[in-house]
Structure 1
Amino acid sequence: MDSSIQPIDRVAFELGPITVYWYGVIIGLGALLGLWIAVRESERRGLGKDTFVDVVMWAVPIAIICARIYYVLFEWDFYSKHPGKIIAIWEGGIAIHGALIGSFLTAFIFSKLRGISFWKLADIAAPSIILGQGIGRWGNFMNQEAHGREVSRSFLENTLHLPDFIVNQMYINGVYYHPTFLYESLWDLAGFVILMLLRRVNLKRGELFFSYVIWYSIGRYFVEGMRTDSLMLTSNLRIAQVISLVLIALSIILIVYRRKTGLAEKRYLEG
């Protein structure tokens, strides 16, 4: 064990009795940048500039709560014995799929109350969501979590050509690990670029969102297979991989179904 390698301090700063962790700061920055992009796009698409601010005011806290509940439920063996840890979200332990469920339901109810097309909201939000996810994975980096299996330092330096700050942060309890947080982050950022380009293709309404779901789920399926901290459905089935496959299939089915039945009448740039 190389005692000269010290992990990055998880604490960003302290305000009296309040401790602010990098995990929360990074996730917050991802959410704010995503919101800024969504607001600009919603204005371009004829929605009020406050529309997405109002959505996010509800969606973010609900998404965080749902993400934590999702994680806790699948790790109930641990949390049933340590109930005081259930709210310790600053230690990590939120599930993206739980957050997506919470955000989806919130946006759906919001759209009905405001009389706005849900699919229009979903399309506008899609690039922002995947950008936020890509940035948010660096919160896992700060917590030294969401990593893969054991590797050598040579692999990280000479094969992946990673900078020292990433290599050193992947040194955990005397072992180097695959930076799977980085793989997923890069996949998400590439997805953001692709979705921003697809906006100009003028897909049918809802299909930009489905494209996001498909792209993200493909990357998540493969990255999840490399991780060592997956939530498990059974001893052999990783929950995130099962959900990813279901979401890919469901998205493709809905694209075809909505086109054939005429439910996807409008295109992204219409109305």
Structure 2
Amino acid sequence: MLVHPKIDPVALQIGPLAIHWYGITYLVAFGLFLWLASIRVRQTQFAQAGWTRRDVEDLLFYGVLGVVIGGRLGYVLFYKPGYYASHPLEIFAVWKGGMAFHGGLLGVIAAMGVFAWLRKRPFWQVTDLIAPCVPTGLASGRIGNFINGELWGRVTSPDLPWGMVFSGAGPEPRHPSQLYQFGMEGLLLFGFLWWFSRKPRPMGQVSGAFLIGYGLCRFTAEFFREPDAFLGYLALGMSMGQWLCVPMILAGIVLCAWSARRGFPAGEKVAA
């Protein structure tokens, strides 16, 4: 049985300026996206469609807005709608925490839709480009969760060698579910999507694979993650995270089937 090391959430203090580990993980996530997407635009199917490094930089800007706005609104609407309806001004208090991945995903989808419309590019071409670059950012975020000792796992047997006691979660050992998610929705999903997207696929296929892959990884991880105390378990004993993954997986299956039938290569210049 292990004990969480209680890492100081502040990585560096310079006078009144505090740099938090969680902020650093966000910077790492954005840096990895910039690097990986720059590699993607040099691949034949995207290079032939006229994608450039400047496009990647613009995508990052749109994506950051989508993550922050969507992630916050997703938390407000999916997890605490009643509370924020009574305290609407606290919706803007992002420094108090409260972000939801599924909301962030919807925010990014909306942001990519705006980008595609403004640049007159097919929407699924845009999402196929960025999909394999997202899991490393998710992995970085889970490391931030682990450093902060938050979003811990469910209680497990004291015999589990990597069971961990988290401060504030009681004396029982728990699954370090942040690390499970780091491995599954981060490293594993990245490896699969990067391999899957190395050769041209029908437009929308890589995006569909991301939705299915993330949905399955997150759904599985939720069996080891402690559900939010204010929600607990919902219908059929599933957590909110699992219920939000169900439409995500179904949407991915429909998208993969539709793209396979349509058959346009991801980099082909077709009408948006």
* Shared fold (TM-score, shorter chain, > 0.5): yes
Greater mean alpha carbon deviation, residues 38-47 or residues 132-141: 38-47
Partner of 2:226, secondary structure, is coil
What percent identity do the matched residue pairs reach? 28
Amino acid at match of 1:122: T
The aligned residue for residue 164 of structure 1 is: none
Amino acid at match of 2:174: Y
2:137 to 132, 140, 157: 132
1:70 to 46, 69, 74: 74
Q: Confirm or deny that 1:107 pairs with 2:107.
A: no
The aligned residue for residue 26 of structure 2 is: 27
Structure 1 CA distance, aligned partners of 2:18 and 2:41? 35
2:60 to 53, 56, 59: 56
**Structure 1 residues 80 and 115 mapped into 2: Cα distance closer, same or farther (>3 Å)?**
closer
Tell me if structure 2 keeps the 8 A contact 1:41–1:124.
yes
Structure 1 CA distance, aligned partners of 2:246 and 2:104? 18
Tell me if structure 2 keeps the 8 A contact 1:195–1:208.
yes
Amino acid at match of 1:228: E
Render the CA deviation track for 1:140-184: whole Å, top value 9, x for unaligned.
112212221123554144xx7xxxxxx465784433321111111
The runs of 5 or more residues in structure 2 that have no matched partner are none
The aligned residue for residue 15 of structure 2 is: 16
The aligned residue for residue 224 of structure 1 is: 222
Partner of 1:101, secondary structure, is helix
**Structure 1 residue 54: deviation in Å?**
0.6
Tell me if structure 2 keeps the 8 A contact 1:92–1:140.
no
**Structure 1 residues 229 and 89 mapped into 2: Cα distance closer, same or farther (>3 Å)?**
farther
**Structure 1 residue 60: deviation in Å?**
0.4
- Where do 1:260-271 residues align within 5 Å? 260=261, 262=262, 264-265=263-264, 267-268=265-266
**Structure 1 residue 252: deviation in Å?**
1.2
**Structure 1 residue 239: deviation in Å?**
2.7
**Structure 1 residue 66: deviation in Å?**
1.4
Q: Please, what is the CA RMSD of the aligned residues?
A: 2.8
Tell me if structure 2 keeps the 8 A contact 1:170–1:179.
no
**Structure 1 residue 100: deviation in Å?**
0.6
* Greater RCO, 1 or 2 (C-alpha within 8 Å, sep 6+): 2
Render the CA deviation track for 1:38-77: whole Å, top value 9, x for unaligned.
1221133221111011121122033112101211232245
**Size of the alignment, in residue pairs?**
258
Structure 1 CA distance, aligned partners of 2:232 and 2:208? 25
1:176 to 167, 173, 176: 173
Structure 1 CA distance, aligned partners of 2:209 and 2:4? 41
The runs of 5 or more residues in structure 1 that have no matched partner are 161-166
TM-score normalised by L of structure 1: 0.83
**Structure 1 residues 95 and 186 mapped into 2: Cα distance closer, same or farther (>3 Å)?**
same
**Structure 1 residue 226: deviation in Å?**
2.6
Tell me if structure 1 keeps the 8 A contact 2:152–2:178.
yes
